[in-house]
Chain A
């Protein structure tokens, strides 16, 4: 292992040299580069901020600067499902079936792509101290920066204030969060005084895909201060006892009195839709739902707060492919897309920004197009997101930033695909008609994870 680390270290040291020669300016420079002019292809999943997304506009803004130098960044959208995105990126980079220069990697894939050397080490300074610490840790593998955080993500709890009012709850502002017991008490109250259309207390994503892994990790991580399924090098590192506690917590949260039965078949879209339809009062979801939900709800009906217990860190990072013929320019592009102003643009548009400055420094502003659609002369305002005086989504500083800082990662291993497939499949037993006991399921899960993540 040492040899590989050393090799990567040497490579990254040398990568710094050309960057030092360019003087760090923004515009095209005459610095020596091995790049061949042409398109820089960025492969990415769909932009959750929707139509005419901010990512597209940031890329256009970069093109305005560099097109005359012969470089043009071009976005290739990948399938909607994260599993299919990962499969296409892996298969294409391993085999050469498609050519990408920059890939937008889910944070959980970074170790896999780095260990397989499908992406290159990047200059350290791309992830500076402004990047939120928990988020910055997703950038590295084996001591090197391989993928620069582009947008982050974290589990949040959305809730219906009007439901709480209808159920006679006095405290309809849950800012500052609560623990699971308090949430359960609220749900018990709601169950006794059901608002119209209400079925169960909360809903989330428990279908057999990454959403189930996320929810399970949130439950498991809430059982112990330093809970982790893998060690720093990605080796499996949990005990049957720890697993049993985690399973117990997941079972409690998803028990019959609390969770919408459809959650077991739900993904992000269906859980959002069930919550929006009023079937539940609470929803575990990601930051982008803030924008979506505010299209249907005003601020006095909708609230968002920290998820009780621990919340999982998500997000996507940008990396340069090993085979790119425009690696230097691709690195510059990433530097731009993940810089302070871009992050502020992403935040305004509905993403969770990766840099503290986007949340805290009013001087950092987005000047790229209109991240927030402006009102037209007719007075129609397409922007329904509540905003703070500096124009950020109102919850950004007080709720989103602290949640990101305290978020827990999913296991970091080059074998994440095998891990999540095993974890999701094994925990499926909990949601059957006759679920096994904690100890029995923990034993099976432990054995399956040992097989999936061999030492």
Chain B
């Protein structure tokens, strides 16, 4: 039973209050005496006696005990208790700089900073718990009313025998509190006594809830100025009765205590306090490592802590562990950004990590940062509709932690419109909330980077015309000229360029896409595009690239010797990049919310400050305000205009959504035929998200209602080389997955890839003759039957694949399956499809291939 009624058992209450300390003088004394604590003991003793759970002789009051006296009293109480054992402590609490232990300071406490013995005369809370755990008592209740009481919570969490222990703490971790008026109990204990001082049964849970409510209602603040929030810890459903006062006859209820009088003036002590504070500063100078002056962060915090303590109102102390203190592992910020921004944001984070702004007074890093990127459309989709799965992935098919990346604390998309896209469509039960800055971090216009010998010559042609007009003019200068643009799904640079491409005829994105058609899939990012072009000199010489201007400076490092120099032309109708800082807060992430906010805020300030802007300047960005000048006006990249005005308005939410939808449906609905190797050898590669059926199911997200598709299971070597798992047609994803789960299975047979592929190509050719559409054949195999696909048979399949003009994506579950010359590579190459093998990220790559053919949205 979780709820214990200890009445009738041997109970013990040990009430410890340290109101007087032997040593209150600097440098080793505690901050001062605590007269209010005397009242705490008197009042608590009184209400507990009346409560009826503890007999008069079961309550021990220890007034300002030394450490030894306390230890003895604690052991005695622990030895004797059988039912409820209650320990109450009021006095000074202290923590080392790491905050990972709480010291309860007894009468003979002192503070020696440096070395090991930091808090002589104090008891570690871990030791207290350990002694309490030796008791036979059925429940142990611990009440701490001191500064940093909440730091006990963690110790309780990691304490193995905590089931019996119920813990009540006056304040949240790392917070100091005011002891209040010396003539009344401390604020926390006063509220505690009021809650106990009622007729009827009072349980621990009742106290914990009531204290939180009452302190909030009273609007009390900690010394730092935060809301004062008492804490409690207990294993769920564990409870215990702490008071059960019999109802009194009417008329005898004591009057509520009068409101406390205003505190008396603290006259006459100023000189002593000043001396204490000065000594505290001297002590800190010894505690902190010497060296070059550092920002006033930790030192100032410690000084202010001591100064507050010195005026006698706080009852706690925090001390750096001394010269041999190691730096604690810092708070980790997860920073998600657009793939094209990743190198710049990473460079900024690297510079920030070692900057003074991120270094504490002790020379430690205040935060760590990991910068990563995810496909821009994926980031928006996931923040908009899948935050629940991001926080807690429940099935293998939808796991953003695996497929998108860490849950970001900070998101830096390439445009503020991305934030609007998320917010507009966000689920009502989303567990991530975004807070975006008003102003972007920087700016970079989208440019048409044209090979030097094909570029427009007059300034008016270089800045002013629309994108499509520029492309037309380019083709007039050279009809062989081509234009390429990065993948609009993967990076915002591609999507922003697409907005410009679609402006002429928004209803016919297919026509616009033909302006940027290229063999094979588009480059994933603008940076990749600029690096890929020089692979083929002829292509490099005749191809203009739609890229952000900053890459004209920082994106041309690869193949620098061979690349064709390019000139930037500035279309008037393509919105530019405006990276914006977005704080992402996750529901449930309350453990360090304030610290995390502060860490994110510091990084943000640094980015917008001088040093951050230096990094952005070096990479070729412009200012986000005014005339949008280049941040680095001295080292200007070749081919870039200093003043390319007029620049365009920021990207709009709807424009981006429309461009993405247009791109996805540009070629109309597609047709996909999946062939799934189901021969015996697939048994070892069947289950789970990266097994054959799992890969196939993940890729269905790339298909929409308008698309048609079917699934064949390939096995058998005679006439029948396949079974139909899902007939060709329109399907919902759910129905399709159900069919695959229900009907696709490993057969005890070998497979004939030759026969199955030829049959598939026949089918797709017939359908192509009926109506032209984007088509795709996907063959998922472990290549165990590749022996049936050699010599003439392979040549025949390759020949048919080439003639059919239907791309075949071969998915080999083997490493090296796509090595040059392998059957998979030859078939996919001849057909214009891609070859994917176990060295690729198969799930994501196959999804992308299918999505390019279909019109699905995730």
Contacts and interface: CB of A to CB of B under 8 A. Distances in A.
A436 interface: no
Contacts of B405: 79, 84, 88
Contacts of B688: 51-53, 56
A121 interface: yes
Contacts of B589: 95-97
B124 interface: yes
B697 interface: no
A32 B96 CA distance: 34
A2 interface: yes
B720 to A, nearest CB: 16
12 contacts: A14-B160, A50-B690, A84-B406, A96-B590, A98-B586, A269-B839, A277-B816, A296-B815, A296-B816, A373-B684, A376-B680, A380-B785
A3 B683 contact: no
Given A52-B688, A87-B406, A421-B353, A273 B839 contact: yes
Interface in B311-333: 321, 324, 326-329, 331-333
B692 to A, nearest CB: 8
A91 B391 CA distance: 12
Interface in A2-55: 2-4, 6-7, 10-11, 14-15, 17-18, 32, 34, 36, 43, 46, 50-53
A373 to B, nearest CB: 3
Interface in B666-723: 679-681, 683-691, 694
A97 B407 contact: yes
Contact of A91 (B324, B334, B814): B334
B748 A376 contact: yes
Contacts of B749: 378
Closest 3 CB pairs of A and B: A376-B680, A373-B684, A87-B370
Contact-residue bracket for chain A? 35 or more
Contacts of A15: 160
A121 B368 CA distance: 24
Interface in A416-449: 417-418, 421, 425
B782 A116 contact: no
B329 A115 contact: yes
Interface in B796-819: 813-816, 819
Max chain A C-beta neighbours (<10 A), residue from B350, B684, B749, B820: B684
A272 interface: yes
Given A87-B334, A377-B748, A454 B402 contact: no
Interface stretch (B241-249, B357-365, B484-492): B357-365
B271 to A, nearest CB: 35
Contact of A295 (B96, B353, B593, B815): B815
B116 A2 contact: yes
B346 to A, nearest CB: 10
A380 B787 CA distance: 12
B594 to A, nearest CB: 11
B399 A323 contact: no
B160 A4 contact: no
B537 interface: no
A90 interface: yes
Nearest to A422: B354
B162 A98 contact: no
A191 to B, nearest CB: 23
A162 B820 CA distance: 19
Contact of B327 (A17, A322, A454): A454
Contacts of A418: 353, 365, 368
A293 B814 CA distance: 10
B157 A323 contact: yes
B680 A293 contact: no
Contacts of A378: 679-680, 748-750
A6 B126 CA distance: 9
A94 interface: yes
B839 A296 contact: no
B449 to A, nearest CB: 24
Given A78-B401, A382-B681, A418-B353, A97 B588 contact: yes
A76 interface: yes
A97 B98 CA distance: 22
A25 to B, nearest CB: 19
B112 interface: no
Given A276-B819, A295-B814, A116 B124 contact: no
A97 B586 contact: yes
A382 B784 contact: yes
Contacts of B586: 95-98
Nearest to B593: A95
Interface in B151-190: 154-155, 157-163
A80 interface: yes
Interface in B393-409: 393, 396, 399, 401-402, 404-407, 409
A51 to B, nearest CB: 5
A389 B596 CA distance: 56
B282 interface: no
Nearest to B822: A296
Contacts of A454: 327, 362-364
Nearest to B692: A51
B567 to A, nearest CB: 27
A112 interface: yes
Contacts of A296: 814-816, 819
Given A3-B118, A87-B332, 13 more contacts: A4-B98, A4-B100, A6-B124, A10-B126, A10-B127, A79-B404, A94-B591, A96-B590, A98-B586, A98-B588, A115-B328, A378-B748, A380-B679
A120 interface: yes
Contacts of B401: 43, 76-79, 88, 98
A364 interface: no
A413 to B, nearest CB: 9
A90 B685 contact: no
Contact of B370 (A84, A116, A277, A380): A84
Interface string A88-121: 1011101111110000000000001101110011
A94 B332 contact: yes
A83 interface: yes
Contact of B326 (A234, A295, A370, A417): A234
A421 B694 CA distance: 36
Interface in A112-132: 112-113, 115-117, 120-121
B663 to A, nearest CB: 26
Contacts of B279: none
A11 B158 contact: yes
A96 B819 CA distance: 44
B300 interface: no
A293 B155 CA distance: 49
A421 B96 CA distance: 29
A382 B684 contact: yes
Given A121-B158, A272-B839, A34 B163 contact: yes
Given A3-B124, A98-B391, A276-B819, A51 B592 contact: no
A292 interface: yes
Nearest to B815: A292
A360 to B, nearest CB: 27
A14 B133 contact: yes
A83 B685 contact: no
B301 interface: no
Contact of A276 (B133, B329, B687, B816): B816
Interface in B115-148: 116, 118, 124, 126-127, 130, 133
A157 B782 CA distance: 27
Nearest to B813: A51
Nearest to A36: B236
Contacts of B327: 414-415, 454
Contacts of B590: 95-96
B680 A380 contact: yes
Nearest to B586: A97
A425 B159 contact: no
A234 to B, nearest CB: 7
Nearest to B837: A273
Contacts of A92: 406-407
Interface string A113-154: 101110011000000000000000000000000000000000
